[in-house]
A and B are shown apart, each in its own frame.
Chain A
Amino acid sequence: EPEVTQTPSHQVTQMGQEVILRCVPISNHLYFYWYRQILGQKVEFLVSFYNNEISEKSEIFDDQFSVERPDGSNFTLKIRSTKLEDSAMYFCASQQTDTNEKLFFGSGTQLSVL
């Protein structure tokens, strides 16, 4: 079965550094998402992306965050200057169409900011 792939599985970075989290969504899917989950807490929506632009973003997704789909395959989340509170598991998800509402999630990237 096709799956969403995320790399790396773990990322450790120093506060203030830039990180790029990578995702390869399922190939025929049109909608893409980033979510995050701080340890022991709920899964939080960050941003949705469709037709090469952001559809919606949450309050968490401030100017330090950006997303890109540079080559029609990868979908990346960049955090420009990481903070301690950015430490979380980041999940990428994709969705086939807007009428097929099921989301497929990757296994996540555990980001630790020191």
Chain B
Amino acid sequence: SQQGEEDPQALSIQEGENATMNCSYKTSINNLQWYRQNSGRGLVHLILIRSNEREKHSGRLRVTLDTSKKSSSLLITASRAADTASYFCATPGGQTGANNLFFGTGTRLTVIP
């Protein structure tokens, strides 16, 4: 299975602290994506990192990718209460040109004001 596994399953931090979430996957990939899901809502794409990239930034987000260890991390700096959500990594697993994404189990982040 291509599915990623996030770690930790749940994370609770104070506003202003940094939050780090990890993802491990099983097979070779050409990209890895992180999505956010507010409770009961759809997933929102945050950032995509390609297999030839080691690190990528977007605002307060920093993503790293280690293809030798088949792992990725998502760092949210200076967290805010509004960052409270579930965060998922996703890897493409399609055998055709379609980009079927397989999602991990997610990390539920709670940022305490």
Interface residues of A in 59-114 (CB under 8 A from B): 89, 91, 93, 95, 98, 101-108, 110
Q: Would A104 and B45 count as touching, CB distance under 8 A?
A: yes
* A50/B100 in contact, CB under 8 A: no
| Count of chain A to chain B residue pairs whose CB atoms are closer than 8 Å in the complex | 76
Is A43 among interface residues, defined by CB-CB distance under 8 A? Answer: yes
Provide the bound-state CA to CA distance between A87 and B19, in Å. 33
Residues in B68-107 with C-beta less than 8 Å from chain A: 88, 92-106
Q: How far is the CA of A41 from the CA of B33 in the complex (A)?
A: 19
Chain A 42-55 per-residue mask, 1 if CB under 8 angstroms from chain B, else 0: 11110010100001
**Cα distance A4–B44 in the bound complex, in angstroms:** 11
Q: Residues of A contacting B113 with CB < 8 Å?
A: none
Contact of B3 with A42 in the complex, beta carbons under 8 Å = yes
In the complex, what residues of A have CB within 8 A of residue B37's CB?
43
Q: In whole angstroms, how far apart are the Cα atoms of A91 and B90 in the complex?
A: 15
Distance A98 CA – B97 CA, assembled complex (angstroms):
6
Q: Does A18 contact B (CB under 8 A)?
A: no
Q: Are A56 and B94 in contact (CB under 8 A)?
A: yes
Query: Which residues on A are within 8 Å of B, measured CB to CB?
Result: 4, 31, 33, 35, 41-45, 48, 50, 55-56, 89, 91, 93, 95, 98, 101-108, 110
Closest to B41 in A: A107
Complex Cα–Cα for A94 and B96 (A): 16
In the complex, chain B residues whose CB is within 8 Å of the CB of A50: 96-98
The interface residues of chain A lying within 8 Å CB-to-CB of B97 are: 50, 55, 98
